[in-house]
């Protein structure tokens, strides 16, 4: 009988693997020095004559200049949208409208690498996310709503849906192209025309999208893009010619818009902030939960309205879970957004970085314990280490306010009832996560959590067929799915 070779008594330490840089090519996207507004199918200069500059948050390099639209510019864009609506877009055969949306979806797929690089350069998010999440989902939204364009009677049986007219759409900087797709695709599918205002720090992909509209031969004026800052958004909301406002951004500005529209015949949907609870029960698969927690709060540097920013852990598994989480945080790679190995990119702007720093400082002052893994941050640009707070009380600002950064606050609970009560103890209600082996407990929790979306044993999953939206101060109205159509139709 052959003798079995004896194993060495000492197991060698695992090799420390180093990552080689894996940068995505930047030259796939051509960025011009300067961009105008997109009105009536043409690029025009702003009447204000004023311009703003977009910087890359990972290098602070100035990327390009873009126009600051004033009241007159916004009114011209709204008139162009009105003409396009009346001159044909609302009346063409729905199956024809669908063809344009399909074309846009196809072009986005074909140009997805270029758009992904543009998104990462202008906004700071890792290429891995813009390439694998933002771009495929943006294209999927256009595909999905293309499919509905000629089936609206089936979405609303016996109710003869009609388009609203001109939709004013204001989007934030955290998912620039994806939010554009969420807004434009359902509006166009229902026969509306749009004027869209991207955020001041991330207008690039919306500006490149004007080229997609031309390539798709979309009739002039169906999509208009007005760049600028918050004042441009204000002009758009006040413009006389609009029939609807769709807004995604802060609760503060959402309230301003609602006040502005009171008494006017303008429809409104608001998608605002959140402070989601990610709840882990003691029977959950812990390693999977750790991955879900990390994805829930560190995805997109935590610039996510539905981020799982409050971790609620059942007391009996608190120690091992926090140990695993800390170990996992130490493996996250922070740095160049264009490197394919990067997990956390740059914070979107200096302003946002300062807001995060102030809230984190308040957490330390109030008595929470902070953990940040060792990592070297690039010298230039806006960066923040992935951060974990333990020993957090419900009253602390870091447990109450939306940080919108890579910062997780941990609380504990003993019973499911206590978990529900703590999870719902927030002015927001956008999303929640539940980690448990028991299906019955998932349903029990989902019934009681006051959140628009409840993920079970996963987090931050999106699909164009699934509606998304909030309760309470997270806003109202739904985007995505058949529900998303309702925001863009009226019934006679
Ligand atoms: P924000 O001010 O609400 O910005 C959202 C959009 O509204 C941007 O296009 C912005 O333009 C525009 N805007 C600003 N003031 C306006 C006004 N008075 N009337 C009409 N439009 C206006 O959000 P932010 O300052 O970028 O971020 C602040 C906080 O909002 C974050 O820390 C986070 O808590 C929350 N937030 C939530 C979401 C979300 O997805 N729910 C997204 C982003 C931010 P400019 O960007 O050009 O100023
Ligand atoms: Mg920028």
Closest CA to 267 of 487, 109, 422: 487
Q: Coil, strand or helix: which one is 120?
A: helix
Question: According to the model, what pLDDT value does residue 93 have?
Answer: 96
For residue 237 and ligand 1, the question of a CB distance below 6 A is answered with yes
Please give the structure tokens belonging to residue 395.
């009253």
Nearest CA to ligand 1 atom 48: 230
Residue 326 structure tokens: 């800390």
The answer to whether 223 and 193 have CB atoms below 8 angstroms apart is yes
Q: Which ligand is nearest to the CA of 53?
A: 2
Q: Do the beta carbons of residue 48 and residue 73 sit within 8 Å? A: yes
Mutation choice for ligand 1 from 175, 206, 226, 249, CB with most ligand atoms inside 8 A: 249
pLDDT the model gives residue 2: 52
Q: Is the pLDDT of residue 64 over 90?
A: yes
pLDDT tens digits for 308-345? 999 999 999 999 999 999 999 999 999 999 999 999 99
In this model, does residue 9 exceed pLDDT 80? Answer: no
pLDDT computed for residue 445 by the predictor = 98
What is the C-alpha separation between 324 and 303, in angstroms, rounded? Answer: 24
Q: Which two tokens stand for residue 275?
A: 């402070």
Among 231, 250, 351, the mutation site with the greatest number of ligand 1 atoms within 8 A of its Cβ is 250
Q: How many CB atoms lie within 10 A of CB 7?
A: 7
pLDDT at residue number 19: 86
- Measure Cα distances from 190 to 128, 278, 450, 490 in Å: 33, 35, 30, 10
- Given this model, what pLDDT does residue 482 score? 97
**Which residues is 344 bridged to in the sheet?**
334
pLDDT at 1 over 60: no
Which domains occur in the chain, in start order?
26-272+474-491 (3.40.605.10), 277-463 (3.40.309.10)
DSSP letter for each residue of 289-325: HHHHHHHHHHGGGG--TT---EEEEEGGGHHHHHHHH
Between the alpha carbon of residue 29 and those of residues 42, 78, 226, 340, the distances in Å are 21, 30, 21, 17
Select from 318, 312, 287, 343 the least CA-distant residue to 129: 343
pLDDT interval class at 17 (50, 70, 90): confident
Ligand 1 centre distance from Cα of residue 385 (Å): 23
String of b and e for 147-181 (b: at least 16 CB within 10 Å)?
Answer: ebbbebeebeeeeebebbbbbbbbbbbbbbbbbbb
Instruction: Calculate how far, in angstroms, residue 335's C-alpha sits from the geometric centre of ligand 2.
Output: 16
pLDDT digits (tens, 9 = 90+) for 408-441: 999 999 999 999 999 999 999 999 999 999 999 9
β-pairing, 431-435 vs 453-456, is: parallel
401 close to ligand 1 (CB < 6 Angstrom): no
pLDDT at 278 over 60: yes
pLDDT the model gives residue 13: 63
Mean pLDDT of 222-244: 98
Q: 57: which residues sit within 8 A by CB, 6+ positions away?
A: 123, 124, 201, 346, 347, 348, 349, 381, 382
| Residue 38: closest CA among 72, 73, 62, 90 | 73
**Distance of CA 301 from the midpoint of ligand 2 (Å):** 15
Residue whose tokens read 């999977």: 288
pLDDT tier, 492 (very low <50, low <70, confident <90, very high otherwise): confident
Asked if residue 195 lies in contact with residue 236, where contact means CB atoms within 8 angstroms, the answer is: yes
- pLDDT per residue as tens digits for the range 343-373: 999 999 999 999 999 999 999 999 999 999 9
Distance 274 CA to ligand 2 centre (A): 23
Q: What is the pLDDT of residue 369?
A: 98
CB-ligand 1 contact for 456 (6 Å cutoff): no
**Closest listed ligand to the CA of 118:** 2
The CB of 176 under 6 Å from ligand 1? The reply is no
Rounded to two decimals, what is the model's pTM?
Answer: 0.95
Residues 6+ apart with CB under 8 A from 158: none
Span 65-85, mean pLDDT? 98
pLDDT at 18: 81
Residue 26: Cβ within 10 Å count: 12
Measured in Å, how far apart are the chain's first and last C-alpha atoms?
89
305 Cβ below 6 A of ligand 1: yes
Quote the CA–CA distance of 477 and 266 in Å, as a whole number. 14
Which protein residue's CA is at the shortest distance from atom 15 of ligand 1? Answer: 230
Of 37, 172, 247, 276, which is best to mutate to test ligand 1, by the most ligand atoms within 8 angstroms of its C-beta? 172
Q: What was the pLDDT predicted at 442?
A: 98
Hey, whose CA ends up nearest to atom 40 of ligand 1?
305
**What's residue 490's pLDDT?**
97
Distance 102 CA to ligand 1 centre (A): 30
**Closest ligand to residue 349's CA:** 2
For residues 118 and 24, give the distance between their C-alpha atoms in angstroms, rounded to a whole number.
Answer: 11
Q: Whose CA is nearest to atom 47 of ligand 1?
A: 229
Q: How far is the CA of 205 from the centre of ligand 2 (A)?
A: 10
Give the CA radius of gyration of the chain.
Answer: 24
What is the average pLDDT score of the chain?
Answer: 96
Catalytic residues: 271, 305
SS3 category, 361: helix
Of the listed ligands, the closest to the CA of 231 is 1
The answer to whether 73 touches 236, Cβ cutoff 8 Å, is no
Nearest to 479 by CA among 272, 321, 296: 272
Strands 37-39 and 42-44: antiparallel
């Amino acid at each position: 009988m052959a003798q079995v070779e004896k194993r060495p008594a000492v197991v060698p330490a695992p090799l420390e693997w180093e990552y080689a840089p894996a940068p995505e090519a930047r030259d796939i996207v051509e960025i011009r020095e300067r961009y105008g507004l997109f009105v009536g199918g043409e690029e025009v200069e702003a009447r204000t004559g004023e311009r703003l500059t977009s910087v890359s948050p990972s290098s602070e390099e100035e990327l390009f200049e873009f126009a600051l639209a004033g009241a007159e510019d916004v009114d011209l864009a709204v008139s162009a949208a009105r003409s396009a609506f009346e001159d044909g877009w609302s009346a063409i055969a729905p199956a024809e409208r669908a063809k344009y949306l399909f074309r846009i979806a196809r072009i986005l797929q074909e140009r997805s690498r270029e758009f992904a690089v543009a998104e990462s350069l202008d906004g700071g998010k890792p290429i891995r996310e813009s390439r694998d999440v933002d771009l495929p989902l943006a294209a999927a939204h256009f595909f999905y709503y293309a499919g509905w364009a000629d089936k609206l009677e089936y979405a609303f049986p016996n109710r003869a849906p009609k388009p609203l007219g001109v939709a004013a759409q204001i989007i934030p900087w955290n998912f620039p192209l994806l939010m554009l797709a969420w807004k434009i695709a359902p509006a166009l599918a229902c026969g509306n025309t749009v004027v869209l205002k991207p955020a001041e720090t991330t207008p690039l992909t919306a500006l490149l999208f004007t080229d997609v509209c031309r390539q798709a031969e979309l009739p002039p004026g169906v999509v208009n893009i007005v760049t600028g800052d918050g004042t441009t958004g204000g002009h758009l909301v006040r413009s006389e010619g609009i029939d609807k406002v769709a807004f995604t951004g802060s609760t503060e500005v959402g309230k301003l818009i609602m006040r502005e529209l009171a008494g006017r015949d303008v429809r409104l949907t608001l998608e605002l902030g959140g402070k989601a609870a990610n709840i882990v029960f003691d029977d959950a698969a812990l390693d999977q939960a750790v991955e879900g927690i990390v994805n829930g709060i560190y995805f997109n540097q935590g610039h996510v309205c539905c981020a799982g920013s409050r971790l609620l852990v059942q007391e009996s598994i608190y120690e091992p879970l926090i140990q695993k989480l800390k170990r996992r945080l130490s493996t996250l790679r922070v740095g160049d957004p264009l490197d394919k190995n990067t997990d956390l990119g740059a914070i979107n702007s200096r302003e946002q970085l300062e807001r995060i720093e102030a809230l984190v400082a308040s957490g330390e002052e109030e008595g929470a314990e902070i953990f940040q893994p060792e990592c070297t941050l690039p010298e230039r640009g806006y960066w923040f280490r992935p951060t974990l707070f333990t020993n957090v009380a419900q009253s602390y600002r870091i447990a109450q306010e939306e940080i919108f950064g890579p910062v997780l606050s941990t609380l504990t609970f003993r019973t499911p009832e206590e978990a529900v009560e703590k999870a719902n103890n927030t002015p927001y209600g956008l999303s929640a996560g539940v980690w448990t082996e028991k299906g019955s407990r998932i349903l029990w929790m989902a019934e009681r959590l006051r959140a628009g979306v409840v993920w079970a044993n996963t987090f931050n999953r999106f699909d164009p067929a699934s509606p998304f939206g909030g309760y309470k101060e997270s806003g109202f109205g739904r985007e995505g799915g058949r529900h998303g159509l309702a925001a863009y139709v009226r019934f006679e």
